[in-house]
Amino acid sequence: MYKNIVVIVLTASPAYTQQGGEIIGESPLTAGTAGASIGSGQSVVDASSNPSTLIHVFENERGVKRQQRFESMVRAVHYNTAITTSTGEELAIDLPVGMGPWMGYAARINDEWAWGVNLQPTVAADFSTTRNTTLNLVTEDPFDPNAPLLDSRIEQSSQLLQMALEPNLSMRLNDSWSIGVGASIRHTDLSMVSATEVDFDTLQGDFVLGAGTWGDFFRDAGGESFQATFDAEASSNMPVVFLKLGATYSTPRGNNIGFWLRPRSTSSDIEGRVNVDMRDDLGTFITVLEDNVFGEGALLTGELVSAYDFAINDVAFPAQVGVSFSSAATSPTRWHSKVVFTQWSKTMTDWSAHLSNASNDEFTGYVGGDGSIDIDMGIDWNDTLALSVGFEHDVEFNITTLGDRSRKINDYTLRGGLGWSTNPVAGAALPGLTPFNQWHVAVGISSWSNDRDPLDIHMAFIATLPETWTAGENALLSDQSYDEFSQFAYSFMVGCSYSF
């Protein structure tokens, strides 16, 4: 039980790789190319990946040449997901449209230096459903050894939010090179409701009516495990911090080749509280035994409900390295590409969880000792590779006034892109963590201001291509094994840049 509860809390992290900007981009400008134009230096927010591009924002041909820039944008994301269980039940999924703000500010110190700070969500999720499960102990007729096990209707939900504060500093060394340094300071909150199966090997406390352990007794009584429901809340006890280093080389033709490195983050502890309810399965089973064998109160004096503290110490998040290419900003048609490698395998491994301080003394008696337990999480993730390619094309619009004289109103940029990424996590899908989408397509448009109007408007639409995916065997809850997921997602971004 303990292992499975903590696995749920921690494996929310795969969403970081898909919901954040690593594939589809932080700003609408980059999102419109499926992340490929990250090195073009058009957006303050995009310096979150490569801080050396910040100085380029004030040099870009499409930007108004002013000393400060503020960006504000909103992204709406919706996942369309269908889940069919191995028994053929089609689950009713509540996946509301998620919305979140991105904000960035940057200022040019002089011709060589610029600094900025961004505030943005790096991951968010909201999921809920109900499903039928089969209890492990309680049958329709407790006196018939061939009677089928009872079904139970359980609730599953998860809410996840990670926010990041990202300061950046950029310097132009010469006409060819710019460098940058930055940080990402992230805090995570999570809540989750679901069910899990508990092996009787967990119950190592001395049996009160005879020799052996509670686990031995319940196995002899006819079971190997039982089902328990839980709800959990967790958060990082202090923010994790990433250092970010970047460099951009501008070729004589004006092309930009970007490089960035994000070393492994600092460590933080994930701490929370888990409420566990064993009444439906084990509690009912004990009641039947007491009513027919041992007498009332012989095995259980209270209700099988308790809360636990848990902590996972020294949690860190992975190093990342990326390379980008953007053709010259002066070209009306520009091509972009990006390759990003994220080293999940060096941080998402060898995690251990400590659970303690049961609020119910009977739980402590069932587990044995002081009721605490240390768990090797057995987490073993894969490194990921993400690729993006995209293009932009400028279109000018003019209106003619006063005879032959014309006044330019706006420049427009059209863009599109295609993104691909591997998945760091294989195997079973957990509640609220829908299967991975490998392919992303995107389109976007920008309306660039003229010299009299410092406001630029940007929009992007991103979609994941539909995929069908069958989960493997689920260690959390066997009823979830081999669920079939079919999903696609779409996201719309709109934002503005204001120069002053």
Closest CA to 51 of 39, 35, 37, 67: 39
CA–CA distances in Å: residue 241 to residues 14, 86, 198, 265, 483: 18, 42, 36, 5, 36
The residue whose two tokens read 């109160």 is 297
Residue scoring higher pLDDT (181 or 436): 181
Question: Dihedral sign, CA of 42, 48, 49, 52?
Answer: positive
* Residue 268 structure tokens: 């933080």
CA 286 to chain centre: 40
> For residues 280 and 303, is the Cβ–Cβ distance under 8 A?
no
CA distance 50 to 197: 44
Alpha helix segments (H runs only) across 358-483: 361-367
- Backbone phi and psi for residue 454, each to the nearest 5 degrees, phi listed first: -85, 10
Q: How sure is the predictor about 16, in pLDDT bands with cuts at 50, 70 and 90?
A: very low
Question: Dihedral sign, CA of 459, 29, 14, 463?
Answer: positive
> For residues 82 and 486, is the Cβ–Cβ distance under 8 A?
yes
**What does the pLDDT look like over 433-450, one tens digit per residue?**
555 678 899 999 999 876
The per-residue pLDDT for 436 is 63
Closest CA to 224 of 194, 205, 206, 198: 198
The per-residue pLDDT for 14 is 37
Residue scoring higher pLDDT (346 or 342): 342
Percent of the chain whose pLDDT exceeds 70: 86
* Residue 304 structure tokens: 């099988």
Would the pLDDT of 20 be above 60?
no
The per-residue pLDDT for 480 is 80
Confirm or reject CATH 2.40.160.60 for domain 2-499, answering yes or no: yes
